[in-house]
A and B are shown apart, each in its own frame.
Chain A
Amino acid sequence: MTELLEKATGTVRKVRPTWPVVLLGVAAVILLLAVLREITGAQDVASSGTVRAAIRAAMPIALAGLGGLWSERSGVVNIGLEGMMIMGTFGAGWAGYQWGMWAGVAFALLFGAIAGGLHAIATVGFGVDHIVSGVAINVIALGAGQYLAGLAFTGKQGGGPTQSPPVEPMSTFDIPGISNLAQTLESKHWFFVSDLGAIVLGLTSRLTPLVIGGLLLFVLTWWVLWRTTFGLRVRSCGESPEAAESLGVNVYFYKYVAVIISGALAGLAGAFLVNDSTVYREGQTGGRGYIGLAAMIFGNWRPGGLLAGSSLFGYTDALRLRSGGESVHALVLLLAVLLLFYAIYMLRTRRSQALASVALAVGLLAIFVLTDEIAGDFTGMTPYLTTLLVLALFSQRLRMPKADGQVYRKGSAG
């Protein structure tokens, strides 16, 4: 069905990656990291600790991005993700410290969904510009979060106007068998094998139900949106609402549902942050809603790509935390080499791009050679710079839902 739809709109430009290709790609990335670790001696480039930190950093972004995916697949741009996430952190903190983290998750979903509902009423019901409404929601949610936190947490044991009392986090668990084997492998420091072991260990140990649940939501989203009638209708609202309406699809209904789900997912991303830091704190989201949006665009409005984008972001963010100066220094080398490869790839078709890439690569190489490590403030920039660079390289291959961001009025199909 998907292929048919995309063939009909004539937008398929390249073959969708198959499983062997994806696996080969993953192996290539691990090999690259192993080589990088050997050359630069920066052990944290591929360690289980980094992978674990990367998951922690990537999950909230991925969930916010998944919220963006639902909304934009139905044709509504959602820049209010940040605000919906703030509502989620407040909900998780408020319910979490009183009745436990599971209640926190429930309220995060609820509060996020309410903010999503507001966005839906403004954009779908009243036809307000999507970005304008999103910005307004961010302003309201910021104020609401601070005001409500001041009311709910002031004077409570361990809490204050900007912070909730501590929340009992969810217990963690290992996947037995695999994690033990992986741990043995990582400790051997064998080339490639130990790197693989480190990554597997990071992926299978000290997991929380929220990580597993979040990943399941990705599978579920893919299945619902690309394998069910409901999902086809949601996507048809994002591609061509007029056509959908002419086929009897209630466009408003599907848009409302998708945007409310979007808010709930952003709220869940907030709950993840609260569980992770065991407390609600003012300014906790730190722009992750926006980065989720960028990760979704990077992922070409598809769940798999979004997950890859969030992982990239989470990884660069984790490196900063794990002996940042040294690790990011190593990353500069990797980036320079990748840019050189890109330049070679582009040499035949686009001379000017290739030259720009080479210039950038030479600059990065110079930084790598002339310094021993990267200053703290610059390692903090890494995730944002990476996102910008990646978008600059790949934006033109992306295809957003055709009617994304356009205001649709019922009956305009005629």
Chain B
Amino acid sequence: MRFDVRRAALTLAAPLLAIIFAVLVTSLVLAVAGDPVGEVWSTIFSKPKPRNIVNIINSGSVLYLSALAVAVGFRMNLFNIGVDGQYRLAAFVAAYVAGEAWLPGKLNVVFSIVVAIAVGAIWAGIAGLLRVTRGVSEVISTIMLNSIATYLVAYLLRQVSAKGTNNIHTNDIPVSSQLAGFKIVPDAPIAVYTLSLLAVVAAVFYWLLLNRTVFGFNLRATGQSESAAVASGVNVKKMIIVSMLISGGIAGLIGMPLLFGDSYNYGLTFQTGLGFAGIAVALLGRNNPIGIAFAALLFAFLNEQSNALQLTAGVSNDIVNIMQGVIVLSVVVAYEVVRRYNNAAEQRRVAAQLESTRQPEEVAA
């Protein structure tokens, strides 16, 4: 038991060390570039205003969904880089469906979310299908599908937009289907997206799926040792397809909080790049639903707090990208170092135990 406590401490130490290391590296970059180091940190680590807190919760929940989509694949060694394309295509189709308002009020919201899940799953499923039938690496196919999605959305967007105008976007969602959000932060002029709840739902789903179902067990087993999983009768091809579908389905949710809580349509300004951020967040959170929550909030916090950098310190907020990248790289390095250390410690411990049990026998003999 004592060993486990130490092990847990080590696991927690890794991300903390990585963040400290990232702060040091970023400070070094700032210092070398001649930017004011102190003011940058005092801006980033200043107390967020109520408005900022709401923004952090909102973008954190969106990042959380994105990271969860990536994490499902990671748990069985599938690399779904295509989350970005999947959520953009899904958000577009859902926005179109919601804008057409075939169903009244809240039913429209539910229907659109189902559509988004389906579209995301199908787009990811293409990569899964290519992998199992044609042996195409999902890393490459999802990258290609991201680019194809970009052009496809651009084309479809032009088809559905009002002709002869410059504001290219889907029809606005009817007011009865717009969601007002929760005013849970006092004094904040804006509300937390209602569909941030999707992050909680997805988290519970993810945890139950992986830890309480046969499918989840098989998924984790395949991820840890494919040959062992095959030997125990797991149909790896089916697992790959289903995992990609689930990953894409969760990816489909990413755009929903934004769509129903903020933009109310899909246009040229709809937020992009969330899928790539999700990869970094999933890595930082070690594919663990709670770890990802912390990672998503940290990334959202850094993004939000860095917006003021240009004003207060005259520094471009791109510095935060460097910091986030360094956090991810150093955290995986730290995990690896900790893992090796643990392995070595385990070996020593077992060796010591063997030694101590053998000694008396020898004495007796």
Contact = CB atoms under 8 A, between A and B. Distances in A.
Contacts of A304: none
B325 A380 contact: no
A293 B33 CA distance: 33
A94 to B, nearest CB: 13
A223 interface: no
B102 interface: no
Given A144-B322, A146-B316, A293-B140, A128 B333 contact: yes
Contacts of B276: 138-139
Given A136-B283, A388-B145, A392-B130, A143 B322 contact: yes
A384 B283 contact: no
A136 B329 contact: yes
Contacts of A378: 151, 155
Nearest to A381: B151
Contacts of A142: 321, 325
Nearest to A376: B155
A147 B321 contact: yes
B148 interface: yes
Contact of A396 (B134, B320, B325): B134
Q: Is the interface of A mostly helix, strand, loop or mixed?
A: helix
B337 interface: yes
Given A128-B332, A380-B151, A147 B280 contact: no
Contacts of B268: none
B227 interface: no
Nearest to A396: B135
B152 A391 contact: no
Interface string B308-335: 0000000010111111111011001100
A294 B143 contact: yes
B154 interface: yes
Given A151-B33, A161-B316, A133 B134 contact: no
Q: Is the interface of B mostly helix, strand, loop or mixed?
A: helix
A133 B326 CA distance: 10
B134 A392 contact: yes
Most chain B CB within 10 A, of A132, A137, A287, A375, is at: A132
A377 B136 contact: no
Contacts of A66: none
Contacts of A373: none
Contacts of B152: 377, 381
A107 interface: no
Contacts of A79: 139
Given A127-B336, A385-B148, A387-B144, A133 B137 contact: no
B79 interface: yes
A377 B157 CA distance: 11
B280 A391 contact: no
A300 B206 CA distance: 37
Interface string B145-165: 111100110110010000000
A335 interface: no
B60 to A, nearest CB: 18
A361 B283 CA distance: 41
A138 B280 CA distance: 10
A381 B329 contact: no
A297 interface: yes
B288 interface: no
B141 interface: yes
Interface in A272-294: 287, 290-291, 293-294
B279 interface: yes
Contact of A139 (B147, B148, B316, B321): B321
Most chain A CB within 10 A, of B79, B144, B154, B340, is at: B144
B316 A395 contact: no
Contacts of B332: 122, 128-129, 132-133, 136
A230 interface: no
Contacts of B337: 126
Contact of B144 (A126, A148, A384): A384
B91 to A, nearest CB: 18
Contacts of A359: none
Interface string B332-349: 110011001000000000
A131 B325 contact: no
A143 B324 contact: yes
Nearest to B277: A139
B37 to A, nearest CB: 14
A131 B139 contact: yes
A337 interface: no
A118 B155 CA distance: 39
A147 B136 contact: no
26 contacts: A122-B333, A128-B332, A128-B333, A128-B336, A131-B79, A131-B139, A132-B328, A135-B328, A137-B325, A138-B276, A143-B318, A143-B320, A143-B325, A144-B322, A151-B316, A297-B140, A377-B151, A377-B152, A377-B158, A381-B148, A384-B148, A391-B130, A391-B134, A391-B141, A392-B134, A395-B136
Given A385-B144, A395-B135, 19 more contacts: A135-B81, A135-B279, A136-B280, A136-B328, A137-B329, A143-B325, A144-B29, A146-B316, A151-B33, A290-B143, A294-B144, A297-B140, A377-B155, A384-B147, A387-B140, A388-B130, A388-B144, A388-B145, A396-B134
